Amino acid sequence: MRSSRVRALIRMSAGVALTGAAVAFAASAAAADTLEWALVQAYQNNPSLNAQRASLRAMDENVPQALSGYRPKLSITANAGENFTSQQTQSFSSSGGVSSTSNVDAAFTSRGVGATATQTLYNGLQTANRVRQAESQVMGARETLRVTEQQVLLDAATAYMNLLRDGAILELNRRNVEVLTEQLKQTRDRASVGEVTRTDVAQAESRLAAGRSSLLGAQSNYVTSQANYRRVIGVAAGKLTRGTPVDHFSPRTLSAAIVSGEQQSPSVGAAMYGVDIAELAVKINEGSLYPNLGVTASASQNWNPTVTTTRQFLASVVGTLTIPIYQGGAEYSTIRQSKETLGQQRLNLDVTRDQAGPRWCRAGASSKRRGRKSRRRPRKSMPRRLRSMACASRPAPASAPRSTCSTRSRNWSMRGWRW
């Protein structure tokens, strides 16, 4: 009877121990950091990326500021105050002499309200060009955000792999020091019995000293990689798992890599929008040479504006046409300056296009050297997978830009803008 209870107790203890071991193993496996998790953390927490998102949200406000040029400007005024007047009146007779003189001293309270509306009808298409320029600035800022995203994610992947590398090197040096220590011990034992000389012992000690020096260097590099991991990703490094190859995301041929680099590179997109912004700046500056047409409507109601007037109502609608003739030549200088800036932006676009293709080719060649290309094509590209993981793990705030967790087409117009 007692033996059966003991066996039952042993089986229960063994089951509890196995369950605890399984839970501990699952917890350790769950606590391991993967490369995808590190990229998501960097995408959410990196200060450079968050600063660029804030810059994009600030750039979004240029569009409503430009659209305000289409809308009228309304203002309401009100006035009230105490007034005092002193008036002397003389009347003359038919013979030319002064017949009578009267003095009037009076204090009165005046008050009134008024409204004014101003509408610009034509200003040389400056408002329309400012709206298109603001839209191009927003799209250019989104492409710049993509450039920052790529750089941050590259830095995160580099920091992750560097930490893995330095950890492996540190472990290798530790094992090397252990082996050299054992070799030195064996060499000293053999020297004590006369099998080897003191020279062999000195060589073993020298190898051990070199191994310990390499171990200290590996420890320093590992601590530096940990600090860099914390700086880029935003959290302290835990247990890291082995990284997965990403060569299957690269184009399969050289020509496809060049075309993809020229069409999908965010640097090229930002440079293209920079050309649009500079071209629209030329049109805006040229619009200052055209006539301006506007309408101003005003209405006011006044009580006791003068001593003898108890109430007064005024209303007017005035159209104003302004034709610039000569303004010192500053407008022509501004136009020439904006044209030179346009030429500079076009040259920058050519340079960026020339750099985008070789950069993609180098990236594809390096990924192919690291491993064999996978035949299975991915369902999603890496940036979209990271955005979906980041948005699923933490919802974007209401004030965040629409481009933070979504990818928009470059064929963007004023119709697609939602207010």
Name 108's bridge partners.
83
Burial of 237-266, coded b for 16+ CB within 10 Å and e otherwise, reads beebbeeeebbbbbbeeeeebbebbeeebb
Residues 338 and 278 sit within 8 Å (Cβ to Cβ): yes
More confident residue, 11 or 34: 34
Given pLDDT bands bounded at 50, 70 and 90, which one contains residue 373?
very low
Cα-Cα end-to-end distance for the chain: 81
DSSP structure string for 39-91: HHHHHHH-HHHHHHHHHHHHHHTHHHHHHGGGS-EEEEEEEEEEEEEEEEEEE
DSSP structure string for 270-297: HHHHHHHHHHHHHHHHHHTTS-EEEEEE
- Average pLDDT for residues 153-157, to the nearest whole number? 92
Q: Tens digit of pLDDT for each residue in 226-285?
A: 999 999 998 888 888 887 777 777 777 878 877 777 778 899 999 999 999 999 999 999
Residues 389 and 40 sit within 8 Å (Cβ to Cβ): yes
Model pLDDT, residue 104: 76
Q: What is the pTM of this model?
A: 0.69
Angstrom distance (rounded) from CA 31 to CA 26: 8
Which is nearest to 229 in space by CA: 300, 158, 181, 173? 158
- Average pLDDT for residues 13-23, to the nearest whole number? 42
Model pLDDT, residue 22: 40
More confident residue, 210 or 84: 210
The mean pLDDT value of the chain amounts to: 80
Given pLDDT bands bounded at 50, 70 and 90, which one contains residue 99?
low
Angle formed at CA 222 by CA 218 and CA 224, multiple of 5 degrees: 120
Q: Tens digit of pLDDT for each residue in 384-398?
A: 555 554 444 444 443
